[in-house]
Every structure is written in C-alpha cells, then in structure tokens.
Amino acid sequence: MAGRARKITVAAESGSAPETGTPEPGSIRELPVLPVRHTVLFPFALLPLNVGRERSVALLNDVMAGDRTIAVVAQKDGTVEEPTFDDLHAIGTQGTVLRMLRFPDDRYSVLVQGVARIRLVQPVADTPYLKARFEALGETSDTGVETQALVKNVTEQFERMVALIPSVPDEAVASACNQPGPGHVADFIASLIELPSEDKQHLLETLKVHDRLRLLTDLLARELQVLEVGAQIRSSVQESLDQHQREFLLRQQMEAIRKELGEGDENQREMEELKAKIEKAGMPPDVKKEAERELARLQNIPPQAAEHTVARTYLEWMVEMPWAVVTEDDLDLKHARQVLDQDHYGLDTIKEHILEYLVVRRFKKDARTPILCFVGPPGTGKTSLGQSIARALGRKFVRQSLGGVRDEAEIRGHRRTYIGALPGNIIRGIRRAASRNPLFMLDEIDKLTSDFHGDPSSALLEVLDPEQNNAFVDHYLDVPFDLSQVLFITTANILDTVPPALRDRMEVIRLSGYTDIEKLEIAKRHLIPKAIRENGLEVLELGFSDEAILKVIHEYTSEAGLRNMERELANLMRKTAKEITEGKDAPHQIGPERTRELLGPERYQKDETTTIDAPGAALGLAWTPVGGEVLTIEAAIMPGQRQLLLTGQLGDVMRESAQAALTYIRSHAAEFGIAPEFFDHADLHVHLPAGAIPKDGPSAGVALCTAIVSLLTGRKARANLAMTGEITLRGQVLKVGGVKEKVLGAHRAGIKTVILPAENQGDLEEVPVEVRTHMIFAPVHTADQVIHLALEPAPAAAAVSAAQKREPDRVPAPGESVAAQRPQPSA
C-alpha cells in the first residue's frame, strides 16, 4: 500500500545516494511501476509514501539495490488492492527513491523525488511487480504576459492559502517564487496543497504550462473559498467555544468548591424550598401564578448569573410577604382601657376615641379601618401612644419615618429592572410586621418633600385611600397587596405642611404640650419607672423628690413634650448608679441640690424673658411646631423719612400686620397721647429677636402694636404679661389659632397674664385646670383695650388725663377673667 505519510518515524535506513538526472523528452525507458492511491507525484516534488503492499515492498527492495529509479503512477480507483495496468492512469512520474525507512511491522516509508512526467508506452511484466516502458514527456511553455500574470496570480493565491493552512510553512511562498519556470511553479504549488487526487492527476496530465496554470488558478480559487469560509466558521465557533469553555470550566470549579464545602446541589435544594414556600405563603391565585412563573424562569437561569440573584431575591420577597397572616383583634374593652392607662397618663379624649373604635369593631368586624393622624409637638407621646394602641389591640406594630422622603420610589419601590431595586417603605414595613393587619405608624408626614423624583404624597394617598388600598401595587413586587386591614396612624408636628388631599383622608387628633403638673405626674408614674426598668437599676431603689423633678422641668428643659426631661432624668439615674457602683457615698434619693451637682449649671431661667425693663418692647405669643413660645418684640425710633424697618426673619403676613398696626397707631395717635406728626421725620424699626428663626402669621399684631405704642408713649409693658391677637386697621382684635399651645408656652415661661381675642375665650376650656388657676386671661375686642391692659400708666399728667377719660387700668386678680369693656368714645 502506498499513501501520503506526513510523519516518518525513524527505523532502519538503507541504500546509497540516488541518481537524479532528468530524462530527455521523448526518450523511452523501462521502469518498475509503483502504483499509488489518493496522491500524485509531481516532477521536482518530494513525496513521502507509506508502503505496505507485498509487490511494492519487493519492488523497493530491488530498486534500492540499483539506481532507485521508479515510475510512480496513480491508480484510477484507490480501492483496488492489486492493480493491473488497466487500473492505472497512463501518465505518471519518473521518480527517485531518496530514502527508505523500515518499521518494525515490516512496513516501509519512502521518500520519493519526482523527476519528470512520463507516459506508459508498453507494459512489460506483471510479476513480481509491474514493469513497463515509459516515454519521458516535455512541456510546452511560453513567457507571454498572460502566463506571467497567471504565475503572479497563482503565487498570490498560494500565499493566501499558506496563511490559512498551518501545516504549510510560510517559507513555501518564497520557494514557490524562486522556482525556475512557470511550469515548475505550478507543479511545486500543486504538490504542496491538498487537492482531490483527480485534480492533481489532471494537472499532471496538462502538458501546456499556460493551461496548467489556468487550471491551477481555478482550483486554488475554489480551495481558497472553502478555506476562508472554513476559517470564518472556525473563528466564530472558536469564539463561542472559548466563551462556553470558560464558563463551563468556571462552573466546574465552582461546583467542585461547593462540593468541597458540602454545599452540593444547593441550587436544587433552594428551588425546592422556594417552591414549598410559594405553596405555603397563601398568596391570592393571581399572585401565586406570578410567583410560579418567576420560579420557572429562575430554574432556567444558571445560579452564577447576576440575573439569578435578582430573580431569587424577588421570590424571597414574595414568599415572605404575610399574604395570609392576620392577627385576631383583642376587642376586650376593659383590657384595652387598662393597657392604655398603664402606658399613658392623661390623653383622655384620645383614649376614648380608640375605645370607640373598638366598640365599632365588635359590632362590625369588617368595619372600615380609620386612618388617624396624631398632631403635636415632639415628645408628646404620639409614637408611644401608637405602640400602646397596638398592644391594646394585640396587633403587630411597625413604624416608618417619612421625614425627608422625597422620592415616590421610597413609598412605592423601584421597578425590578433597576440594579439593587427593593420594595418601598410600605411593603418593607408589612414584611417586617409579618402580618397583613399591623398597626402601621407613618411618622413625620409633615416632612414629606416632593421634587423631580416624583411626588411621594401622591403615592401615600393611594396607600391611605380605603377605596384603593386593598390592591396596592408596589413597583418592585408588581402584584397587588391588600392594605385595607392595616391600621394606619400618621404623626406630624404641624398640619399646615401636610398636603390637603392627604389631610382629608385622616382623622386628626391633637396632642398638645403637657403642663408642669402633668409632666411631674408622668415622670413619677411612667418615665422614672421605665428608665429604672430599661437600665436594670431596680436593686438600687433610686428615687426623686418632686422638687428635683420640677427643677429638671423648669431649669434644665424648656419644651412642650417630654423628650428632654426623660433624657435628663435617665441621665441623673445613670450618674447616681455609677457613683454608687464606684463605692461613693451617693444618696439614693435625688433632690434639687443633687440635680444641680450632677447636671451642672441651670440652663433656663424661669423668668428670663418675662419682664421688660424699658418702654419699647412687648411680649407676644407664638405657636411653633415644638409648642407655644413667648416672643419679645422690640421697637426703636430714630430720625429718618417715614420708613418702617422690620427685622428678625418675618414672613409677609407678619410684615403686613406690622404695617396695619402702624397705620392704626398713626390714625389714633391723639388718643394715645402721641404727637400726630411723630412719623414725619422719623424711621421706625421693629425687631423680633431670635432672628435666625423665621416667624410668620398674623397673631403678633396686637403685640407689635403694643411695642410701638409703648415706645412712643414711654409707657413700660407690665411684667409677666404676654398677648396674642390679630389686629385690623380699625383696631379690632381678631381670633387666632393655637391658643392652648400658646397658653401652655406662656405658663412654662412664667407668664401670669395673657391678653387674647375675646373670640378665643372658648379655647381656654382646653387648657388644663391647674394652668388656668395660676393665670389671668384678659379677652379683648379692640387694640386700645390691649394698650390699657398691657402698658403701665403714663407718668404724671398723662396718667391723670387717662384716668379722667377711661376706666382705671386694672389687672384682674388671678383666676378671674376680665369681661371686655368697650372703650368710651373719646371726647
């Protein structure tokens, strides 16, 4: 057998150097015939052959002893084992055996050098191998332009092919170019590239060089195309193979690591678990379908893909939502009242409200859940009341602050397509509560802001709307969740900044500040025992005297609520506990002296702001989100040109009330004993200290008026007296808001007398009795009543005339409420 052999392993080598002379064209010579299959030997080419057929081996053994010249002729049909002359092509190649290697299994490998084309003329013998007479063939060649072009073309094609065939070295291109003639070029290239043997035989038989080159061009073009397409396919296959292989390898490694860590089949187990959880979660049918769809998707995502984590996190959220978890409301009124009273002192109306709600629930289980809004200064117990209601009802409690929430997505979540997306505050809270009907406290809804991220209050509207919230769709979950059983309680310091649409949805319950007495009681009954419990100080048997607590209330805190007091009391207890533990001889009962010792110098002077020592100032009452406060209003006059200067960050409404007050004074100057032309060459400056805090509202009107009149008449404001009320140009005093807070603030500041609009008299009923009994209220209709009550009498002459004209200025006794007197028309 003879075929192509690319590799020759070393075996025995025999024979001596060959003789390679080129025969004359036309000369005839008898040669032994080596039939070859599937290949063709070209003149001047080297062809390695494996030889196995017996006849061929015999032939080679004979020729190696002689001149090593043979005729290499291709078989027409490669499958014929014992070819006769009929099975061979007529044209072959005379060749010289350069080398013969013998393998241990008696097969040979030979290297044959092609010498010349030959044609069979006459068979001579069949045994022991074929022998025949051959005629050496010449070739017809020309050096015309076309031939040159064909040579150039063929070498170029060859060069391109070499680049694509790794087994042919690049130097082959240079060798091809260096061949002595066009015919040699064609033969050289044809011998090096792989072509079907018929095509090679065809080339061998084409004696006209021009035609041979043309034929070769066509064949090369075809092969090139095949190679190039093949290369393209290979490179794209390679690319995806590389990618796949990389992933595959990484996965295998990961798998191995997992196994090593004992986490094998983790993924499968996880899927099973999720599936079981979906079954158990009690989702509504549509939601369940969605969860199952997502699970099916998840199973097809490889665990290492980022997408997998996204889908899994989503499913975890879905299964952990309390779709079907509802707590049973405890509707026992007695128990509820007990809990509420246990946790909170006072707040009776609010407690009643809660109990009423319970009664309704008893009669109608699916009664609409009200949405409550607790409004009041910080530390007045809004949050703790919420907790207490939850405890009374036996509901889970969750709290979510909305302060500074400016993005709708914080309420409603981000769509799952965002990286790191999560559900919004509401759904997160519900999951934390692990119940579908918790008491959900939304703190600080007055501090919601809206900007370009969308309006969070509109999302909140949906949450708090009983018509819509049974199918609240969070962007992340993307399936409806029923919030209708949730008891929402919102809290706010002020209602003004709560969007009106939101305000309308809620039942507003106001918690105002506490009086000193209430604070004292709350401290004794609730805050101190609570602090002892929370700090584990029971064994020390610590206690406070009432004076110590009141000292903390008056001199270390100044607030409507209880936060700072609670902190300072706890502070005192911890300090005492520390000293006792350190072995110091500290008293277990804390009195006022100990308080000062432990807390340092007093921070507030009770009567600091309440006395005014010169004309040109008055005390107003302001309402702020942290409770009522006393405001000092100062006025000064200087030469100028009728300008009213207002400072202290006053809002427009307050500025206008100052204008109105001034106009009223100018038009009634004579009545107050003020020179009517006082403003002709003067500027008036009104300032409200604590200039950094913005102030607004019409209720400072009467105080502004009083400060200016005091300045212009030289009459000083009475001590411990403050006022509130809006003023009109004609000097009417109009109703204002926040009276209860203002009165409590005044009380805290040590004010004894409060002048207020007569129309507000009804509001005084809300003021706790212990405050009312310590204060005097003077309801008024007009500004001149205010002036008479607020300012000390004018010195000497003015006082006499005033006494003649009007009722004597009189401040009522404590506990008494003066009936407003209409002023006599002036003469």
Among 93, 380, 400, 435, binds ligand ADP (CB under 6 A): 380
Q: Does 447 bind ligand ADP (CB under 6 A)?
A: no
Strands 733-734 and 589-590: unpaired
Pick 397 or 664: Cβ nearer ligand ADP: 397
Which H helix or E strand runs over 268? helix 266-280
Q: Which span sits near ligand ADP by CB under 6 A: 328-336, 497-505, 559-567, 642-650? A: 559-567
Q: Which span sits near ligand ADP by CB under 6 A: 28-36, 234-242, 378-386, 754-762? A: 378-386
Q: Can you say how many angstroms the Cα of residue 454 is from the centroid of all Cα atoms in its chain?
A: 16
Q: Please tell me the distance from the alpha carbon of residue 83 to that of residue 75, in angstroms, as a whole number.
A: 7
The residues near 62 (Cβ < 8 Å, ≥ 6 apart) are 32, 129
Cis amide prior to 128 (ω within 30 degrees):
yes
Q: Report in angstroms how near the CB of residue 557 gets to ligand ADP at its nearest.
A: 12
| 749 close to 622: Cβ distance less than 8 angstroms | no
Q: Report in angstroms how near the CB of residue 741 gets to ligand ADP at its nearest.
A: 14
Please give the size of the binding site for ligand ADP, defined by CB under 6 A: 17
Query: In the numeric block, which tokens belong to residue 54?
Result: 């017996």
Q: Which of 473, 339, 349, 313 is nearest to 397 (CA)?
A: 339
Pick 424 or 561: Cβ nearer ligand ADP: 561
Residues 501-530 touching ligand ADP, rule: CB under 6 A, are 522, 526
Pick 310 or 347: Cβ nearer ligand ADP: 347
Q: Report in angstroms how near the CB of residue 623 gets to ligand ADP at its nearest.
A: 17
Please count the other Cβ atoms lying within 10 Å of the Cβ belonging to residue 242: 10
Query: In the numeric block, which tokens belong to residue 574?
Result: 């911890």
Q: Does 401 bind ligand ADP (CB under 6 A)?
A: no
Q: Can you say how many angstroms the Cα of residue 759 is from the centroid of all Cα atoms in its chain?
A: 53
Q: Please tell me the distance from the alpha carbon of residue 745 to that of residue 381, in angstroms, as a whole number.
A: 18
Q: 722: which strand partners? A: 754
Query: In the numeric block, which tokens belong to residue 17?
Result: 């150097």
Using DSSP's 3-state secondary structure scheme, residue 96 falls into strand
- Long-range (24+ apart) CB contacts under 8 A made by 356-363 are 358/329, 358/331, 358/333, 358/393, 359/333, 361/329, 361/331, 362/331
Q: Report in angstroms how near the CB of residue 435 gets to ligand ADP at its nearest.
A: 22
Q: Report in angstroms how near the CB of residue 769 gets to ligand ADP at its nearest.
A: 17
* Helices within 281-347 (DSSP H only): 285-299, 306-320, 333-343
Q: Report in angstroms how near the CB of residue 377 gets to ligand ADP at its nearest.
A: 7
Q: Report in angstroms how near the CB of residue 803 gets to ligand ADP at its nearest.
A: 49
Q: Report in angstroms how near the CB of residue 248 gets to ligand ADP at its nearest.
A: 59
Q: Does 456 bind ligand ADP (CB under 6 A)?
A: no
Pick 157 or 491: Cβ nearer ligand ADP: 491
Pick 187 or 446: Cβ nearer ligand ADP: 446
Among 384, 449, 458, 821, binds ligand ADP (CB under 6 A): 384
Q: Does 625 bind ligand ADP (CB under 6 A)?
A: no
Contact letters (x/-) for ligand ADP, 347-366, by CB under 6 A? x-------------------
Q: Report in angstroms how near the CB of residue 622 gets to ligand ADP at its nearest.
A: 20
Intra-chain end-to-end CA distance of the chain, in Å: 150
Q: Please tell me the distance from the alpha carbon of residue 91 to that of residue 134, in angstroms, as a whole number.
A: 9
Q: Which span sits near ligand ADP by CB under 6 A: 220-228, 381-389, 689-697, 728-736? A: 381-389
Residue with nearest beta carbon to ligand ADP:
381
Contact letters (x/-) for ligand ADP, 737-766, by CB under 6 A? ------------------------------
Q: Report in angstroms how near the CB of residue 570 gets to ligand ADP at its nearest.
A: 10
Which H helix or E strand runs over 488? strand 487-492
Q: Which amino acid is at 91?
A: I
Strands 372-375 and 507-510: parallel
Q: Which span sits near ligand ADP by CB under 6 A: 46-54, 495-503, 556-564, 745-753? A: 556-564
Q: Which span sits near ligand ADP by CB under 6 A: 10-18, 199-207, 373-381, 776-784? A: 373-381
| 6 close to 50: Cβ distance less than 8 angstroms | no
Q: Which span sits near ligand ADP by CB under 6 A: 88-96, 217-225, 380-388, 753-761? A: 380-388
Q: Please tell me the distance from the alpha carbon of residue 688 to that of residue 67, in angstroms, as a whole number.
A: 129
Q: Does 378 bind ligand ADP (CB under 6 A)?
A: yes
CA gyration radius, the chain: 54
What are the C-alpha distances in Å from 655 to residues 686, 688, 689? 10, 11, 15
Q: Does 383 bind ligand ADP (CB under 6 A)?
A: yes
Q: At what angle do helices 333-343 and 348-363 cross, to 10 degrees?
A: 160
Q: Please tell me the distance from the alpha carbon of residue 617 to that of residue 127, in angstroms, as a whole number.
A: 144
Pick 387 or 485: Cβ nearer ligand ADP: 387
Q: Which residues are catalytic?
A: 699, 742
Among 107, 202, 432, 563, binds ligand ADP (CB under 6 A): 563
Q: 509: which strand partners? A: 374
Pick 288 or 567: Cβ nearer ligand ADP: 567
Using DSSP's 3-state secondary structure scheme, residue 768 falls into coil
Q: Please tell me the distance from the alpha carbon of residue 794 to that of residue 180, in angstroms, as a whole number.
A: 137
Q: What is the DSSP annotation of 320-369?
A: HS-SS--PPP---HHHHHHHHHHH-SS-HHHHHHHHHHHHHHHH-TTPPP
Pick 407 or 566: Cβ nearer ligand ADP: 566
Among 382, 436, 718, 772, binds ligand ADP (CB under 6 A): 382
Q: Does 379 bind ligand ADP (CB under 6 A)?
A: yes
Q: Report in angstroms how near the CB of residue 573 gets to ligand ADP at its nearest.
A: 14
Q: Report in angstroms how near the CB of residue 427 gets to ligand ADP at its nearest.
A: 24
Q: Which span sits near ligand ADP by CB under 6 A: 164-172, 374-382, 737-745, 761-769? A: 374-382
Half-sphere exposure of 140 (CA within 13 A, CB side): 6
Pick 483 or 626: Cβ nearer ligand ADP: 626
Q: 100: which strand partners? A: 110
Q: Does 566 bind ligand ADP (CB under 6 A)?
A: yes
Using DSSP's 3-state secondary structure scheme, residue 342 falls into helix
Pick 211 or 521: Cβ nearer ligand ADP: 521
Q: 397: which strand partners? A: 439
Pick 345 or 678: Cβ nearer ligand ADP: 345
Query: In the numeric block, which tokens belong to residue 482?
Result: 């029923």
Q: Does 627 bind ligand ADP (CB under 6 A)?
A: no
Residues 291-350 touching ligand ADP, rule: CB under 6 A, are 344-347
Pick 69 or 493: Cβ nearer ligand ADP: 493
Query: In the numeric block, which tokens belong to residue 587?
Result: 């008293």
Q: Which residues bind ligand ADP (CB under 6 A)?
A: 344-347, 378-384, 522, 526, 561-563, 566
